[in-house]
Structure 1
């Protein structure tokens, strides 16, 4: 058995068939493996806790003989102390996993909506930009507290308080670290991360007032009248799509993300419904359409090669953010209105103006009821039986528009309000 040296290794000839092992006479347990292709890899073999263990050190060229010998001696020393270097390497690798790597694995493994994926990615690259390449195990409670307070008081760019973003961002971080606790383990099965540092925010989350913004009752008619007139004078395809999208949101109470992505294969003009197979709450639903909503869809232009009901020249192929239209709607309403405010407006008209049962409005906005009876005995997906209710809401909006137009022209509207 020779001593392994550079001269010895350089003179090695590849074996004809299977690999060959060459052991060093000087350092017991240190050797190398030669393959028929001529690849030389340094190895070390010893016993740890009564069991034989063979470990690959690395390829010749990356390691010199002397470097590999020194690594072998370290491994053999660890084995004599009862530590398996393979387990230590696995534990060290798990401890080095970065926040970026955890986020990528989480996004890959979890069945998330596109909006959730976008929110996670946004916070990883903005809220936690400085932590992306840090081992997630190195994130501690002090870091969490400091960064949370920074976002809460200054925002991600320092332009002003952003308590909502602080709450959302650290909810994302909490989920990512919980995932890491479950996924990354030491060889003995215990987690690399003992606890979640975001738990330090217990009772420190910013209490946020629920958003209640909607179109004021006195302005609903004016807004609808404006949208109708704007539709008649739309000067390009994207503008037309934006206007129609906003009108559909007000007539149906749908979520912007779901309505904007609507495709023609999920629209039935004959029976008067639209279908959402995988909405936010994962409850597939068939939403009935009022005659006003049907008229909008029947007069929409279909674009060859584009399946979307509200097409756009943008990369997604559909309108994502009807910003300009919403800005004009806000001017007419006299207050800033968002697409989600249209959803609240639809619900409020149903409850307060049309006297509809709360449960029916909840179903029309695809909020699955919490009660046992409603969840297990009511139809919560095929909602065509609620078409009269959605028609009442649309008719009320239409009536308010006629009143607003009459007021604008100086007519007496007392009879119209009766």
Structure 2
């Protein structure tokens, strides 16, 4: 195998004959260093030696990238590896593998850094929107609306109050913060500020914030930047204070004044809704979401959405039936509203407060539900009957397992409650002829 000393001219002039697959030129100065050429005109420095009785050939690189001296240095390095009992090919593979592993490690670290920075940049608002989207199927409309309202930025024009704008919700101040910065100390400062003007709203906001942070602590995208206990510190709880149980309820002697003002409301849908709310003891959203298909006029029953059981059947009493039968059938909703996007009545509280103010009463919509249960005691109605009509969870073993009251039995008691309330209110009502169990109530 002839050898010549490599020079730039000899290396550049070396070519492979067209009738061969490859040709070699060997350096006379550095043992094992060669130049390989192919018919396509490509050439490369190579090293060839013998390791453990086997010929080893390794590509060094193109003459365009390697000088002759650099190629000689690399060839000597490979020869030293052979002298040390190592296979240059295996060393090269190990080196390349180590370099690739290092490259992947650096890439992974860079990606992890980007992900960490992205997680740390997440704002409370971004996580809050994801929370609402994920939990919305599990909430009622009222609960979802409360979450939106408590976090609203405010400043939007009010539809029903020209010139007025909406107020920012209690949670609005926290929305622009990074989730990472929502610490117990920060929540305590926020709570102290909100407690000065709206402690009741603050308590609701605190409950929602706690649930939100617990949810974040279970999500891969948020758990590393979430302090699940940020809204649970003793100081924050003390600042918010305890919710005082509400006791607003209609007294027997107040029924006449309440009915008189509610019946005079200009909106007949709201008037009927408020009266039905008292006479059924239902939750405001249960009755507000009543559809025509939920009423059985033949068998005198209504199917109400129930937060405990999903749905429950309640009697369709005579006066309630007369109120509902007189309502316009604009769409699927019993208590409809042409001005509402949803097509149903949304906010009857304003009209109710006005009616109560005229009557000299202070009463919330939930106070009507409370009034139904309280006033029923005048008739000594079984507590289990009232609870079943109102959708309260049974509180005794007998009620849970040994009382299955059909709709007819509930109607007997419910009609008594309705008739008594109308009598106390001084309302004369003559039931339909197909209701023989009802009696005429006169003042």
Please state which band the TM-score falls in when normalised by the shorter chain. Answer: 0.5 to 0.7
Task: Compare relative contact order (CA 8 Å, sep 6+) and give the higher one, 1 or 2.
Answer: 1
Residue 144 of structure 2 is matched in structure 1 by: 117
Per the alignment, in what secondary structure is the counterpart of residue 332 of structure 2? Answer: coil
From 196, 202, 210, the equivalent of 1:174 is 210
Residue 210 of structure 1 is matched in structure 2 by: 245
Question: Please, what is the CA RMSD of the aligned residues?
Answer: 3.2
Distance 1:134 1:227 in 2: 45
- Distance verdict in 2 for CA 1:397–1:149, change over 3 Å: same
1:318-357 to 2 correspondence within 5 Å? 318-323=344-349, 325-331=351-357, 333-351=359-377, 353-357=378-382
List structure 1 runs of 4+ shifted beyond 4 angstroms.
46-54, 225-228
Query: Could you give the per-residue CA deviations for residues 274-313 of structure 1, whole angstroms, max 9, x where no partner exists?
Result: 112x43335311111221112222232222xx11112212
1:372 offset after TM fit, Å? 4.4
Residue 390 of structure 1 is matched in structure 2 by: 414
In the superposition, the TM-score normalised over structure 1's length comes to: 0.68
1:350-369 to 2 correspondence within 5 Å? 350-351=376-377, 353-369=378-394
Q: Report if aligned partners of 1:364, 1:383 keep a CA contact under 8 Å in 2.
A: no
- Distance verdict in 2 for CA 1:290–1:195, change over 3 Å: closer
1:198 offset after TM fit, Å? 1.0
Residue 328 of structure 2 is matched in structure 1 by: 301
1:327 offset after TM fit, Å? 3.5
Distance 2:302 2:323 in 1: 13
Residue 315 of structure 2 is matched in structure 1 by: 288
1:133 offset after TM fit, Å? 2.5
1:374 offset after TM fit, Å? 2.7
Query: Could you give the per-residue CA deviations for residues 102-135 of structure 1, whole angstroms, max 9, x where no partner exists?
Result: 1111111112212111111222232232321322
Distance 1:168 1:328 in 2: 25
Residue 400 of structure 1 is matched in structure 2 by: 424
1:384 offset after TM fit, Å? 4.7
**Structure 1: 5+ residue runs without aligned partners?**
1-24, 26-45, 55-74, 155-161, 406-415
Q: Which one has the largest radius of gyration? A: 2
Distance 1:48 1:354 in 2: 87
* Correspondence 1:312 to 2:337: yes
1:137 offset after TM fit, Å? 1.6
Q: Report if aligned partners of 2:261, 2:356 keep a CA contact under 8 Å in 1.
A: no
1:161-310 to 2 correspondence within 5 Å? 162-184=198-220, 191-201=224-234, 203-204=237-238, 205-228=240-263, 230=264, 239-276=267-304, 278-303=305-330, 306-310=331-335
* Correspondence 1:102 to 2:127: yes
Distance 1:47 1:220 in 2: 87
Per the alignment, in what secondary structure is the counterpart of residue 306 of structure 2? Answer: coil
1:395 offset after TM fit, Å? 0.8
- Distance verdict in 2 for CA 1:51–1:354, change over 3 Å: farther
1:379 offset after TM fit, Å? 4.0
Q: Report if aligned partners of 1:273, 1:287 keep a CA contact under 8 Å in 2.
A: yes
* Correspondence 1:133 to 2:176: yes
In the superposition, the TM-score normalised over structure 2's length comes to: 0.64
Distance 1:170 1:121 in 2: 14
1:369-384 to 2 correspondence within 5 Å? 369-379=394-404, 383-384=407-408
Q: Report if aligned partners of 1:261, 1:308 keep a CA contact under 8 Å in 2.
A: yes
Q: In the comparison of the two structures, how many residue pairs are matched?
A: 317
Residue 146 of structure 1 is matched in structure 2 by: 189
**Structure 2: 5+ residue runs without aligned partners?**
1-64, 66-95, 153-168, 430-440
